[in-house]
Amino acid sequence: MSQQQSPPARRPTISDIARIVGVSKVSVSNALNGQPGVSEATRQRIVAVAEEIGFVRNSAARALSGAKAAAVGLALCRPARMLGTEPFFMELIGGIENVLSDASYSLALQVVSDHERGLEAYRRWWGERHIDGAILVDLREDDDRVPALEQMGLPTVVIGHPSGSGSLTPVWSDDAAAVRETVEYLAALGHRRIGRVAGLPGLVHTSIRDRAFAEVCTELGVEAVPTVHTDYTGEDGARATRRLLLSPVRPTAVLYDNDITAVAGLSVAQEMGLQVPRDLSIVAWDDSPLVQVVRPALTALTRDIHAYGAHAARTLLALIAGQSDGGYEDLAPRLTPRGSTAAPPA
């Protein structure tokens, strides 16, 4: 840039930019808000100077001008301490951020204690023009957030099955197909009593997996040991595993709904003197470094979660740009056999 300026000691203003570039404040406002009235060369110089001096547009002024916020919102209902240990959401957010960054968008992320507080965050962000769109996760059956977001008119992508997303745009994968592949694989190994440590009850994807598990076990003549639901934590996964392994009819294989509970289940089995996979086969939903570094490494349902988040972000940016579509079905998770599964004892 031909004219270098030190940032003002006070918060930079439009007047500062106008003085440095040598144009009117109206021209600066038009350039920063994407309005006509300035040449492209002048617009680029105004934007460059604004970035150099650290100018931040006032949200109220942005709302009055109708300019976009260049941000999307994600309210995540999870204990904050869990985020660093839950590979799924770290990978998902990484994929979202990667696409948003390329489009010069930012992600407004808030960790909330329940879905009601999450909905409050979406309302506040949208009402104050802090976001142009939203991503909704952990879709529940009869989810109150869906009609609320529909009524708000907030462009929203739901990471969840279309059966629960209403008129909002879904991005999903076929969980039922993944369950079927897993149970068929275990049955082919000779397992006839299969257990399942599931996630939170009431979530749409949990219900889909529950139904698919019961249906395929019935079709194959396999005994489905009653499913135990958890909150996805290792502590709850360990308790659920002990419950299954201490039952009168112990399963010879267990399918877990996430990697953390599966690793906890492996520890419990070893603690109880069982050998994996000789005495118990274990399958984890969602492959991650966590399930690959334990011994034996866990058989897992593998999918590209980073790409899953990227697909959601691209779909949302298209919605914000007015390009409506019917959503995006990602590839179903595929089974990756490892050392934690084998034929059951004779």
Mean pLDDT of 72-91: 82
Q: What is the pLDDT of residue 337?
A: 98
**Per-residue pLDDT reduced to its tens digit, 299-343:** 999 999 999 999 999 999 999 999 877 899 999 999 999 999 999
On whether the CB atoms of residues 132 and 68 are closer than 8 A, the answer is: yes
Confidence class for position 84, pLDDT limits 50, 70, 90: low
Residue 277 DSSP symbol:
T
Confidence class for position 65, pLDDT limits 50, 70, 90: low
**% of the chain beyond a pLDDT of 90:** 73
Please choose, from the candidates 280, 281, 235, the residue with its C-alpha nearest in 3D space to the C-alpha of residue 261: 235
pLDDT tops 90 at residue 38: no
Q: What is the pLDDT of residue 311?
A: 96
Average pLDDT over the chain reads 90
Q: What is the pLDDT of residue 52?
A: 80
In sequence order, which residues have a C-beta less than 8 Å from that of residue 127 and are 6 or more positions away?
none
Q: What is the number of alpha carbons within 13 Å of residue 7 lying toward its C-beta?
A: 12
Helix, strand, coil in percent for the chain, rounding step 5: 45, 15, 35
Q: What is the pLDDT of residue 57?
A: 63
Q: What is the pLDDT of residue 169?
A: 97
Q: What is the pLDDT of residue 326?
A: 81
Task: Lowest mean pLDDT of 3-17, 110-124, 139-153, 263-277, name the range.
Answer: 3-17
Give me 58's structure tokens. Answer: 């006032």
**Per-residue pLDDT reduced to its tens digit, 282-292:** 999 999 999 99
Q: What is the pLDDT of residue 4?
A: 46
pLDDT tops 60 at residue 221: yes
Q: What is the pLDDT of residue 50?
A: 85
74 three-class SS: strand
CA distance 341 to 343: 7
Give me 14's structure tokens. Answer: 């439009």
**Per-residue pLDDT reduced to its tens digit, 205-220:** 999 999 999 999 999 9
pLDDT tops 60 at residue 62: no
Confidence class for position 2, pLDDT limits 50, 70, 90: very low
Q: What is the pLDDT of residue 6?
A: 42
Q: What is the number of alpha carbons within 13 Å of residue 217 lying toward its C-beta?
A: 21
In sequence order, which residues have a C-beta less than 8 Å from that of residue 300 and are 6 or more positions away?
259, 262, 283, 284, 285, 286, 287, 288, 291, 335, 336, 338
pLDDT tops 70 at residue 106: yes
Of residues 231 and 85, more confidently modeled: 231
**% of the chain beyond a pLDDT of 70:** 91
Mean pLDDT of 242-265: 96
Confidence class for position 294, pLDDT limits 50, 70, 90: very high
